[in-house]
Amino acid sequence: MSTKEKILDTALALFNTANTQAATTNHIAKAMGISPGNLHYHYKNREEIIRRLYEQMLSESTLLVQDLPKNIVELFEHQKVMSKLLWKYRFFHRELLFLLSRDPVLKERYIKDNIAHRERIRITFGNLAAHGDLNIPYDNILDQLTDTILLVLEFWNPMVETLGRAIDERCFEDATTHIRGAMRPYLTKQALNALKVFEDS
């Protein structure tokens, strides 16, 4: 593993354990046993490290349009993967609005990516409808479901904290359960049967 990769791994661990404000570049360098100058040779500042971690998270989570889930089982398989990634990079959504307010470069990139993410979610719901897994009882249901999913994915973490609950890996699994619940009234009998098999497996 290169020094640049070790810096990212160390920063991620510190950000997740404390927060991005408590973990300065000096703290990261000390945890690695390297000089601050060595760290700054690879990354100019903490914001650059956070941006790189964000890009790393995207590369691990983003699917190409042609690879988006085509049916209900593929969707929930993907959500299982996503819940693990949300846990792995939990600092990011825990501090999302703060991080965006501190870094205009990150904010501009995130908004662009989030608009694209929203469209991929909407396409996925279109795939499910085409496969016969999703009922479309009225015109704007796809937009409403899309925004519900996006809301849960982005703000589940702070919502849990405001209820006085600890953030652990289970809470991200609860998020996917919540998404299933929001979708369930619109699933066809075919999808419900497939979902039962998936949940029982």
- Residue 101 — pLDDT band, cuts 50, 70, 90? very high
Does the reported pTM lie above 0.85? yes
CATH class belonging to 54-200: mainly alpha
Domains 3-44 and 54-200 share a fold: no
Residue 18 has what DSSP assignment?
Answer: S
Structure tokens at 194: 């497939």
> Is pLDDT above 90 for 145?
yes
pLDDT at 63: 87
- Residue ranges per domain, the chain? 3-44, 54-200
The fold for domain 3-44 equals: Arc Repressor Mutant, subunit A (1.10.10)
- Residue 170 — pLDDT band, cuts 50, 70, 90? confident
118 contacts 146 by C-beta, under 8 angstroms: yes
